[in-house]
């Protein structure tokens, strides 16, 4: 059984400690989710998406079940939504659920899809769901009401975005530990380009990461440009995700978890 401590990226832990210093952040986040969001999302899922079961999209249902078994996590509800963008997300605090886009189901093979599911399970395992849901809530609020709500929620929003990017790195570790780093790299490549046929080399993004870091560190201006752009991202760039896992694959913890989750 995997524990949150096994996969938590040190920067995620650090960012979480920073986040906890904001007064009342926990109670504010929880009340936003409970009063505003969880019920609304669950209703919307049931109304507009397809819930996976042993009869409906059984492939997704059984792969999710197998993924949760490997991690040692109770199985959340899984929904599939119609979207050409390959993506997945998890919501909710009391009973989290996972939503996966139709293009991911179509273009990822079984192992890669389990890897994507394991990433979402990583968020649940590390209890990221609470803050992640709020990041999304504030983002949507910002989109709806524009600049006014951004100025109100701005500093808290950027702090949450910063943490959200770090939390992705922990979830990626859960994915790599559950399905192997090579499968993780293939999944990340497919998400980056949106294609199902990416050839047989799983390490292109790792090489691109080296090229990207060279570009970023070429001048101070390049570095400032890249960092300013990143402040508003909810996810780290694909190359950095690939790079982080490529480094982590040599760690004692990765090897230990691989032995334990080995198929």
Q: Residue 222 CB, nearest distance to Zn ion (Å)?
A: 27
Nearer to Zn ion, 38 or 120 (CB): 120
Nearer to Zn ion, 145 or 233 (CB): 233
Nearer to Zn ion, 141 or 171 (CB): 171
Q: Residue 128 CB, nearest distance to Zn ion (Å)?
A: 8
**Positive or negative torsion for Cα 18, 37, 104, 121:** positive
Q: Which residues pair with 97 in a beta bridge?
A: 77, 91
Q: Residue 243 CB, nearest distance to Zn ion (Å)?
A: 17
- Count how many Cα atoms sit within 13 Å of the Cα of residue 27 in the half-sphere of its side chain: 2
Nearer to Zn ion, 171 or 206 (CB): 171
Cα–Cα distance measured from residue 69 to residue 250, given in angstroms and rounded to the nearest whole number: 25
Q: Residue 172 CB, nearest distance to Zn ion (Å)?
A: 8
Task: Name the phi and psi angles at 231, rounded to 5.
Answer: -55, -30
Q: Residue 138 CB, nearest distance to Zn ion (Å)?
A: 17
Nearer to Zn ion, 107 or 241 (CB): 241
Q: Residue 158 CB, nearest distance to Zn ion (Å)?
A: 18
The pair of structure tokens assigned to 106 is: 């179509």
Binding site for Zn ion (CB under 5 A): 168, 171
**Radius of gyration of the chain from its Cα atoms, rounded to whole angstroms:** 18
Closest to 203 (Cα-Cα) out of 254, 246, 258:
246
Cα–Cα distance measured from residue 57 to residue 53, given in angstroms and rounded to the nearest whole number: 7
**CB-based closest residue to Zn ion:** 171
Cα–Cα distance measured from residue 106 to residue 196, given in angstroms and rounded to the nearest whole number: 8
Inter-CA distances, 185 with 128, 192, 194, Å: 23, 10, 14
Nearer to Zn ion, 126 or 171 (CB): 171
- Give the CA-trace dihedral at 194, 56, 112, 15, to 10 degrees: 90
């Amino acid at each position: 059984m995997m524990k949150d401590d096994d996969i938590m990226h040190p920067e995620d832990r650090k960012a979480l400690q920073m986040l906890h210093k904001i007064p009342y952040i926990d109670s504010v986040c929880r009340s936003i989710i409970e009063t505003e969001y969880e019920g609304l999302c669950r209703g919307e899922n049931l109304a507009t998406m397809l819930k996976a079961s042993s009869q409906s999209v059984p492939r997704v249902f059984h792969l999710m079940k197998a993924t949760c078994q490997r991690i040692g996590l109770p199985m959340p509800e899984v929904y599939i939504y119609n979207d050409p963008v390959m993506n997945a997300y998890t919501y909710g605090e009391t009973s989290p659920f996972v939503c996966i886009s139709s293009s991911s189901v179509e273009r990822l093979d079984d192992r890669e899809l389990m890897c994507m599911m394991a990433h979402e399970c990583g968020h649940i395992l590390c209890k990221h769901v609470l803050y992640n849901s709020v990041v999304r809530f504030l983002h949507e609020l910002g989109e709806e009401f524009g600049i006014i709500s951004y100025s109100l929620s701005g500093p808290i929003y950027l702090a949450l975005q910063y943490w959200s990017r770090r939390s992705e790195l922990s979830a990626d570790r859960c994915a790599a530990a559950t399905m192997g780093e090579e499968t993780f790299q293939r999944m990340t490549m497919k998400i980056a380009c949106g294609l199902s046929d990416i050839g047989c080399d799983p390490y292109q993004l790792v090489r691109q990461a080296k090229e990207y870091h060279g570009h970023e560190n070429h001048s101070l201006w390049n570095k400032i440009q890249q960092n300013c752009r990143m402040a508003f991202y909810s996810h780290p760039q694909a190359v950095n995700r690939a790079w982080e896992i490529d480094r982590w694959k040599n760690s004692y913890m990765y090897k230990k978890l691989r032995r334990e989750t080995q198929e």
